[in-house]
Amino acid sequence: MDEHGAREWFGAYLNDFVALGRGDTDDVRRLLLHYGIPFLISTDAGTTALTDETQVLAMARQQVDGMRAAGYDRTEELDAKTVVLNGSCAGHRARFVRRRADGSEISRLEVTYLITDRPEGRRISALVVHSPV
């Protein structure tokens, strides 16, 4: 795992996520190229381990549906830092703003992603949404 490679890989994930949110594609399964199974997701509401493909796809579809309902067009990364944690794992912490096509703001969020090298390739194994400040 190297910082530059992890950052580039994350950029490809973000491009796929944005395309889904905007409605450029409906193939939510493409996120399985980026999300590991099991997949840990943590928010203020709680922490959940998604242990199979069906659960991961349901979570992804729920996110995409919510973005589309809000008129989502793009995500701007306001700040980001990638830290290599060991030979097979990196953390990527970023602050984002989600916007509609007219530029109006939908939401801001800060997220930490645990990116791991797995037999099937690089994947996000955990996603932690930070509490708003």
Contact 42, 128 (CB under 8 A): yes
Q: Would you place residue 13 in the very low, low, confident or very high pLDDT band (cuts 50, 70, 90)?
A: very high
- The whole-number average pLDDT for the span 88-117 is 98
The CATH number fitting domain 3-129, selected from 1.20.1440.230, 3.40.50.2020, 3.10.450.50, 3.40.50.1010: 3.10.450.50
- Provide the mean pLDDT of the chain: 97
For the packed helices 53-69 and 3-22, what is the interaxial angle rounded to 10 degrees?
A: 60
Query: Is residue 133 over pLDDT 80?
Result: no
Residues facing 127 on adjacent strands: 41, 113
Q: What is the pLDDT of residue 96?
A: 97
pLDDT tens digit string along 18-61?
999 999 999 999 999 999 999 999 999 999 999 999 999 999 99
Contact 117, 89 (CB under 8 A): yes
Q: Is 65 helix (H, G, I), strand (E, B) or coil?
A: helix
- DSSP-derived pairing of the beta strands 35-43 and 121-129: parallel
Query: Per the omega criterion (within 30 degrees of 0), is the bond before 119 cis?
Result: no
Q: What is the pLDDT of residue 17?
A: 96
pLDDT tens digit string along 108-117?
999 999 999 9
